[in-house]
Structure 1
Amino acid sequence: MSQLVRIGDPAGVAPSGRYSHVVVGSGRQVFVSGQVAFDEQGKLVGEGDALAQARQVFGNIGRCLAAAGAGFEHLAKLTVFVTDIGYLPAVRTAWDEALGSAHAPASSAVQVAGLFQPGLLVEIEAYAVVPEAGQSS
């Protein structure tokens, strides 16, 4: 049986909140490259607006996962890159809108000096595990 086992708060580790400290999975692995706030024409969405950008990023992640036969429920790990740590509340809002609280992946957040194009505030890469055919998640 393939599944994701989420361990939110192992003994002796500070409470995690909206992410899991540990996610154990088996099945088909899906790696999603860092997604930024570009629409399908490659235009920046939400210039100067971290929430609008984060919503676009999570939308892009959802579309990438769907293309691989996966969904947000299969997420095992997210890595969030922001150009200002003050953008994390906006990312968390978009995260909650996209994922809810039922499928808390492992997570890291990093402030970076800049992303590959001026104006980008948020980039998120994702890793998912999808059960093999005939197995439940």
Structure 2
Amino acid sequence: MNDSHLTHIPAPEGVAPGAGYTHVVMGTGRLVALSGQVALDADGKVVGAGDPAAQARQVFDNVRRCLAAAGATFDDVVKLTYYVTDIAHLPAVRAARDEHIAPERLPASTAVQVAALFRPELLMEVEAFALLPEGR
């Protein structure tokens, strides 16, 4: 998919189609790098302890807030990295992502299962990179 500053290439020739992600996103503009976001509210309290869906919604709400602070939206996201303590949480992560990102604009993505995050109640962390068009 093309828009003013990003080109999505879902599956280059000879590469199997991604299941829920785009293999290549290219663009020009200003890079926005977000630190990994977890399911903490504004007071630093865990949201949805033991509930992957609730945590995923909070994580993506935090990503949205961070993007907005940089003048970006989910339409500008070019790469997501998911860190989950159990790969079984990935459907909840993708469902929360899909509330914010249209299927034709899926970013390049990587999912990694990790032994633990910095607090034992946290089930996932999402890191994002976005690309803003020049002048925005």
Same fold flag (TM > 0.5): yes
Q: Which runs of 5+ in 1 are unaligned?
A: none
Deviations 1:91-129 (A, max 9, x none): 111111121313210000000000011110010000000
Whether 2:86 is the aligned partner of 1:103: answer: no
Contact kept, 8 Å, 1:2 with 1:132, in 2: the verdict is no
Distance, in Å, in 1 between the alignment partners of 2:20 and 2:50 is: 25
User: Which residue in the other structure is 2:38 paired with?
Assistant: 36
Counterpart amino acid of residue 60 in structure 2: F
Q: 1:40 to 1:89 in 2, by over 3 A?
A: same
Alignment of 1:42-121 (within 5 A): 42-121=44-123
TM-score (norm 2): 0.94
Deviations 1:35-66 (A, max 9, x none): 00001111100000011001100000000000
| Equivalent position SS for 1:63 | helix
Distance, in Å, in 1 between the alignment partners of 2:59 and 2:100 is: 10
Aligned sequence identity (%): 59
Contact kept, 8 Å, 1:30 with 1:127, in 2: the verdict is yes
Distance, in Å, in 1 between the alignment partners of 2:12 and 2:19 is: 13
Counterpart amino acid of residue 61 in structure 1: V
**Count of residues in Structure 1 that have an aligned counterpart in Structure 2:** 134
Distance, in Å, in 2 between the alignment partners of 1:61 and 1:96 is: 13
Deviations 1:67-112 (A, max 9, x none): 0000000000000000000101111111111213132100000000
User: Which residue in the other structure is 1:9 paired with?
Assistant: 11
Q: Which runs of 5+ in 2 are unaligned?
A: none
**1:2 to partner: Cα distance:** 6.0
Distance, in Å, in 2 between the alignment partners of 1:50 and 1:108 is: 18
Counterpart amino acid of residue 108 in structure 2: A
Distance, in Å, in 1 between the alignment partners of 2:58 and 2:11 is: 30
Q: 1:19 to 1:63 in 2, by over 3 A?
A: same
Counterpart amino acid of residue 117 in structure 1: R
Which stretches of structure 1, 4 residues or more, deviate above 3 A after TM superposition? Answer: none
